[in-house]
Amino acid sequence: MNALEVAGLAVSYGPTEALRGIDLAVAEGETVCLLGANGAGKTTTLRALSGQVRARAGRIRFAGAEIGGMRPHRIAARGLVQVPEGRQVFAALTVAENLALGAWTLRDAAEADRRRRQVLARFPRLAERLRQPAGSLSGGEQQMLAIGRALMAGPKLLLLDEPSMGLAPLMVEEIFAVIAELRQEGVTLLLVEQNASAALEIADRAYVLENGRITLAGPAWQVARDPSVAAAYLGG
């Protein structure tokens, strides 16, 4: 069963065509990564899935329903949850408040509490900083908070936009370990990354996006061996 099915998705910003009709699918429980150079259209893809930009053409099916044209808060409430590029934690709010916002659509207080304990067990560093403003955290801690906040929503599909961007190597490793853990637990993941080697190691399948078009798709090990990918994204 596919959690997500995208067909012919096209997005323009005024005269700029950012996506020129892409097809993409993520099966339930699968980890898919989306690779591409700067400006290829990776963020635009995720923003279109979350309803943050309007598609010019194409269809988006999520969990059996058409979600194209829905507003972002409705899509999030359905369980399609995004950890946006640049983390976008609420800097002026505390860590605890950021986590509470992640569970905004959840009306069951006991369940919210259970998820919160899970997130804090996963990220003990956040537990020590619950009363601090999120803006005072380090970049890596903010990324943990952004992921923790998304997990509070109990995602059916988790979109991650360059979670390792701008982090120290040790922290990058830690973030990828968390992603591997989530995959183990069966969370359905769509991962956008510049760190292609690490992403291809974790993912089941991969897509390569160039200039708003999918130019390559397949099992991650196969994509990793593609000479063009090796040259462009794997530094050799």
Partner 1 sequence: MLAQQLVNGLLLGATYALFALGFTLTFGVLRVINLTYGFYFTAGAFIAWYLTRGGTGLALALPAAAIGSGIIAVILDALLLTRLRRARADELASLMVTLGAVLALYAAMTALLGPDIRRLPQSVLGSGALVLGPVRVTQAQLLILGAVTVLAGGLVWLVRFSRLGLGIRAVAENPDAAGLMGIDAARIAVLVSFLSGALAGAGGVLIGLAFNAIQPYMGEQMMLRGFVVVILGGLGDIFGAMLAGLLLGVVEVLTAAYLASGFKEAVAFALLVLVLWTRPAGLFGRPPPRRA
Ligand X SMILES: Nc1ncnc2c1ncn2[C@@H]1O[C@H](COP(=O)(O)OP(=O)(O)OP(=O)(O)O)[C@@H](O)[C@H]1O
Instruction: Give ∠ CA 82-202-114 in degrees, rounded to 5.
Output: 50
When asked if residue 97 is in the footprint of partner 1 (CB under 8 A), the reply is yes
When asked if residue 164 is in the footprint of ligand X (CB under 6 A), the reply is no
Identity of the residue, 12 or 105, whose beta carbon is nearer to Mg ion in the bound complex:
12
Q: How far is 191 from 158, CA to CA, in rounded Å?
A: 8
Which of the stretches 6-14, 93-101, 193-201, 215-223 binds partner 1 when contact is defined by CB under 8 A? 93-101
Q: Is 50 in contact with 83 (CB distance < 8 Å)? A: no
Residues that bind partner 1 (rule: CB under 8 A) add up to a total of 27
When asked if residue 225 is in the footprint of partner 1 (CB under 8 A), the reply is no
In one letter, which amino acid is 157? L
Q: How far is 171 from 10, CA to CA, in rounded Å?
A: 35
Selected from 15, 38, 92, 131, the binder of ligand X by CB under 6 A is 38
When asked if residue 12 is in the footprint of partner 1 (CB under 8 A), the reply is no
Selected from 31, 43, 98, 164, the binder of ligand X by CB under 6 A is 43
Tokens of 224: 């990793």
Tokens of 118: 């899970």
In one letter, which amino acid is 124? P
Q: How far is 144 from 137, CA to CA, in rounded Å?
A: 10
Strand partners, 209: 36, 214
Q: How far is 130 from 149, CA to CA, in rounded Å?
A: 12
Which of the stretches 33-41, 130-138, 147-155, 217-225 binds ligand X when contact is defined by CB under 6 A? 33-41
Q: Which does 160 bind (CB under 5 to 8 A by kind): ligand X, partner 1, Mg ion, none?
A: none
The answer for residues whose C-beta is within 8 angstroms of residue 199's C-beta and 6 or more apart is 33, 35, 191, 193, 206
Nearest approach, Cβ of 38 to ligand X (angstroms)?
A: 4
Of residues 50-109, those binding ligand X (CB under 6 A): 85
Q: How far is 30 from 41, CA to CA, in rounded Å?
A: 22
- Burial (CB < 10 A; 0-12, 13-18, 19+), residue 129, is middle
Residues that bind ligand X (rule: CB under 6 A) add up to a total of 12
Selected from 24, 26, 30, 42, the binder of ligand X by CB under 6 A is 42
When asked if residue 41 is in the footprint of ligand X (CB under 6 A), the reply is yes
Identity of the residue, 42 or 183, whose beta carbon is nearer to ligand X in the bound complex:
42
Nearest approach, Cβ of 233 to ligand X (angstroms)?
A: 11
Residues in touch with partner 1 (CB under 8 A): 50-52, 71-73, 76-77, 81-82, 84, 86, 88-93, 97, 100-102, 104-105, 135, 149, 153
Binding site for ligand X (CB under 6 A): 13, 16, 18, 36, 38-44, 85
